[in-house]
Amino acid sequence: MSNDNDYRSVPAEETKEEKDVAAIPTKTVDDFLKMGNYCYLILVISEFILLGGAGNMIYMVFAGSAPRVSCRGSNFTIKDVCRSKINISTLTDCELDLQYEFKSINVEFGYICAETAYVKSSISVQMIGVLIGTLLFGYTSDRFGRKTTLVGSFIMTTVMGFAASFSTSLLMFTVLRTILGFFCGGLLGAYGVYKMEHIPKKHRFWVATVIAWAPNYIILNLIAYLSGDWRTFQQVLVLVGSPALVLFFFVHESPRWLIQKGRIEEARAVLQKIQRLDGAADAKKDEMEKMLDVTYQEMKAREEKARNYSLLDLFKYREMAIATVVYCAGIFMTSIINYGLVYNIETLAGSFFVNSVLMGCIRWSINIVFGILDYKVKWIGRKVSHLVSQATIAFCLLLISITFIAGLNERYAVVIRISSLIAAATTAQIFITKNISGMEYYPTVVRNSALALKSTCSRLGAIIAPQLFLLNAWEALPYVVVTIMATLDTIAFQLVIPETKGKPLPEHMPEKRRHSIPMAKRQSSISKA
């Protein structure tokens, strides 16, 4: 799934204007937050939080998987009743045989064939809960603290997950899981910020690759396989994340957040505790005081500037407005492609679990390869990464569409299988590229607003995605739709979004630039002040 939160929450601190608030200090926050024992403790608790949080996000891939239904009559056999479009109620002289690798709610509550639509709708409702939670807890995280939000949302996610495992109907299940989704949205948002605010800048990329969705997706497949049914799987998700409840007693509030809120004494105490745990000598008092004072002034200056801008400023200037539409539409369509394919994985040829593990392995491999190329090869920037990734997705989806249109989907089921897995896996790189590009494109004063808007569009895509494969009046239609989406995003991103790799983080809104350069020709419309 999407590791959107890992990259959306990377603190963007170092712009020239902010450093001009005072003389550059001899020490920065990163000098007191080194990759030591405390950071590794943060990574451990982050992994447990992500394992439970990501598990709840992809839970319906397994819990909502539809079984294959065959029918054995006295004189006939129907291998796939659902695909044959036969009304099950008319099959009186027939014994239905449900084939599945995981006992989902579809199997237990009898939602098969056409009635699978009710389960898909349940997924969409649950995703609405995630969207609302993401928006609300983003505020509480900034207002009341990262750790406070994390602990509260984690406890409620745990409670609601355990309660949902005892559901006796789809309605009860949907209500409990929607409440769970509300807190899970807050959990994952706060988790990303909390983790990245403790990690030194030079370590953030590899941390976001290792403690990420892709490797955990593989682990969660194994957990689902061993669980065997939706009730046990939900309870095990509660269990595997539970060590975080104990570890919360050994970690502190984010010192960056404490400094931002002017709680200097608490920030000083936390940094001193971190240093002692890391075995480092206590910093000289004047060095820490200077760092705390300058960092606080920088954050206040950034906060004061941001107060003069709102979400509407993203659309005030033509170039930025067009770029914002492209970013938001692109991540919306990518989310539909990603979740649409993932929630339809049970229809592919081969083992359900093997397909899921393969997709996770491909996803992680792609992330690692692009991460290495981004570091080693200067000319491979955001646009090249996006072009290769989204064009690959478009090609795979086009191949599937042609196979269905030609009526060869049964004969070339393996082609559909491989293409679907590659397309779904590659969306992870699109999420990463879009979010890094967005952070580098937008000026500091509107960056948080822009990233929040993109995150909302991503969640909206996740809400709509489960309905995608209900467009089955024509079997090829869902694939034709997502092929068009991937193609449009490939073209729009290349034409509109400038290359941002290696550019200084933008400091000003467009009106402060000296020159206006046509979008198609400029390398970075926002980076130059």
pLDDT in tens, the chain (529 residues): 555 554 444 444 444 444 444 444 456 676 777 788 888 999 999 999 999 999 999 999 999 988 888 777 655 556 666 766 666 656 666 777 788 889 999 999 988 887 888 999 999 999 999 999 988 888 888 888 889 999 999 999 999 999 999 999 999 999 999 999 999 998 988 888 888 888 877 777 677 777 888 889 999 999 999 999 999 999 999 999 999 999 999 999 988 888 878 888 888 888 888 888 877 666 556 677 777 777 777 777 766 766 667 778 889 889 999 999 999 999 999 999 999 999 888 888 888 899 999 999 999 899 888 888 887 888 888 899 999 999 999 999 999 999 999 988 888 999 999 999 999 999 999 998 898 888 888 886 787 778 888 888 998 999 999 888 787 678 889 999 999 999 999 999 999 999 988 777 676 777 644 444 444 444 444 444 3
pLDDT for res 521: 44
Q: Which alpha helices (DSSP H) does 279-381 contain, by range?
A: 285-306, 318-342, 352-376
3-state secondary structure of 78: strand
- Cα–Cα distance measured from residue 455 to residue 416, given in angstroms and rounded to the nearest whole number: 30
pLDDT for res 516: 41
pLDDT for res 23: 46
For the chain, residues classed under CATH 1.20.1250.20 are: 309-529
Other Cβ atoms within 10 Å of 168 Cβ, number: 9
Other Cβ atoms within 10 Å of 183 Cβ, number: 26
pLDDT for res 372: 85
Superfamily per CATH, domain 309-529: MFS general substrate transporter like domains (1.20.1250.20)
Helix axes 170-198, 116-144, angle to 10 degrees: 40
- Global pTM exceeds 0.85: no
pLDDT for res 95: 72
**To which H or E segment does residue 430 belong?**
helix 413-441
Whole-number Cα distances in Å, 517 to 425, 443, 514, 521, 524: 37, 17, 10, 7, 9
C-alpha 136: how far from chain center:
17
